[in-house]
Amino acid sequence: MNSIKKIISIFILVLIPLFIFQNSTLIIRDLSKDSIIFLNKVTPEDEFTMRWMHSVELQPWEEIFRVDQNYNIILDRTRFKSFGAGVPDSAGNKTEIKNGYVIFSGIDRKMPDLKYGISDFAKHTFLFKNKELKLYEIVENGNGVKIDIVQMRLYEYYFLKIKTTSPLI
């Protein structure tokens, strides 16, 4: 009988945290299917990048975002190869050229509704912790994604992690 009590105690000690504790989770949702294609825990100062090919300049572009202390998504900096239609002459508080890229840094813009239209031509790619997710291979051409940070209980996180089939997970 004593071993049954131990098993029940361990079971309770494992299960209770799953229903009580939460984590901050970065989610990418395919808007056309209302499905999650990526999720991962995040902490303040984590960064992720959206990369694509500019449709006019035909050059790679990157927007680098960071997670702030309040778990907001902040546009931190951009990297691109050349100026063209719609490109401002500066953004943020620092402009530099490094390895052939123009970099605008210190932009520090909160992004409460971060959405991208995904294109086979632009080859939208999401980069997070040295891994990449080719969104144009997952999301139908012309459909959109939304990137967000949400609070979720641990049981929900692990359930969605199992259910989601992204190669990055």
Least confident of 13-17, 88-92, 133-137: 88-92
pLDDT digits over 93-120, tens only? 888 889 988 899 999 999 999 999 999 9
Residue predicted with more confidence, 6 or 148: 148
pLDDT digits over 116-157, tens only? 999 999 999 999 998 899 999 999 999 999 999 999 998 888
Q: Give the mean pLDDT of 14-37.
A: 88
Share of residues in the chain with pLDDT > 70 (%): 91
Decide if 96 contacts 103 (C-beta within 8 A).
Answer: yes
Q: What's the pLDDT at 21?
A: 85
Q: Give the mean pLDDT of 56-74.
A: 91
Q: What's the pLDDT at 169?
A: 44
- Integer CA distances (angstroms), 73 to 25, 55, 66, in order: 12, 25, 6
Q: Which residue has the tokens 């190669």?
A: 167
- Residues 6 or more apart from 6 whose CB is under 8 A from it? none
Q: What's the pLDDT at 74?
A: 98
